[in-house]
Amino acid sequence: MRIDFHTHTFPNAIAARTIAKLEKSARTASYADGTEDGLRASMEQAGIDYSVILPVATRPGQTETINRVAIETNDRHRETGLISFGGIHPENSDYRQILRSLAASGIRGIKLHPVYQQTDFDDIRYMRIIDCACENGLIVVTHAGYDISFPEGGQATPAHILTVLDTVKPDRLVLAHMGGWRCWDEVERNLAGAPVWLDTSFTTTPIRPAKDTSRTPEESYTLPAEQFCRLVRKHGCGHILFGSDSPWSDQEEAVMLLKQSGLAPEECLAILGGNGERLLQF
């Protein structure tokens, strides 16, 4: 089984303008249209059985709608191969009720995005959410490192993450982008081997500039294959999850680059599905 642990979709009515807005802010072109149908077509091309959708609540008032859609998506997951996590915002004062409701509804986890939510990852509000999520058996996936749309947004650096690990000691925390996008030297020094999971999203795949932009992707925007393999092995292959960050990377290309990275076939097999099956408790 192949599982992509890091994807995004948007409702059909707003997908086109949302993608256009994000392409403009990141000066980066998408590889898919951001719809469920677009993701499913990509999955079929890449041979992916399940994709985990990670919604982001950029305002506290969005949480109710996001989570209603997540539950509806999961009701069809056997048919579609799409599994949605829930969303929550650090300003949701009723976070305990939200998290208990998500767990009772069969949602497997939540997504946090410190940069988009403009909150340091070691803020007490996040730590309370993470602690409560753990109490309810929920996986917590967080954006980690910098963000291509907000190059100065340093709300989720390895230093922030280490504070949370020391204080909350979460048991199922997933750090996107191999522990910290564009912070990989620091991740390798300070986070490799920590009791967390890392996903591979938006690390080794090329960044495609959006139309009418002058962006020339810097070499440091991607994690070199040699360092990627070294980080996988230092952290422990059993705690690495395949992620594409679709629609911002091509799923088929992400699978191919993982297989060509220099990892052994058994390591690739674990990352592409075995580890995800274990964490999701399939």
Predicted local confidence at residue 220, as pLDDT: 57
Predicted local confidence at residue 155, as pLDDT: 97
Which tokens belong to 188? 């390798």
Predicted local confidence at residue 214, as pLDDT: 61
Convert 170-183 to b/e letters by CB count within 10 Å (16 or more is b). bebbbbbbbbbbbb
Output the CA angle 97-177-39, nearest 5 degrees: 75
**C-alpha of 202 from chain center:** 9
Predicted local confidence at residue 247, as pLDDT: 97
Predicted local confidence at residue 251, as pLDDT: 98
Phi, psi of 70 (to 5 degrees): -60, -45
- How far apart CA 131 and CA 56 sit, in angstroms, is 19
Q: What is the pLDDT along the chain (282 residues), one digit of tens a residue?
A: 999 999 999 999 999 999 999 999 888 999 999 999 999 999 999 999 999 999 999 999 999 999 999 999 999 999 999 999 999 999 999 999 999 999 999 999 999 999 999 999 999 999 999 999 999 999 999 999 999 998 888 999 999 999 999 999 999 999 999 999 999 999 999 999 999 999 999 999 988 888 766 655 554 589 999 999 999 999 999 999 999 999 999 999 999 999 999 999 999 999 999 999 999 998
Cα torsion angle, 272, 275, 281, 282, sign:
positive
- How far apart CA 282 and CA 276 sit, in angstroms, is 9
Which residue ranges make up each domain of the chain?
3-59+140-280
Multiple choice CATH, 3-59+140-280, 3.90.1170.50, 3.20.20.140, 1.20.140.10, 3.30.360.10: 3.20.20.140
- How far apart CA 42 and CA 38 sit, in angstroms, is 6
What's the pTM value of the predicted model, to 2 decimals?
A: 0.96
Predicted local confidence at residue 161, as pLDDT: 98
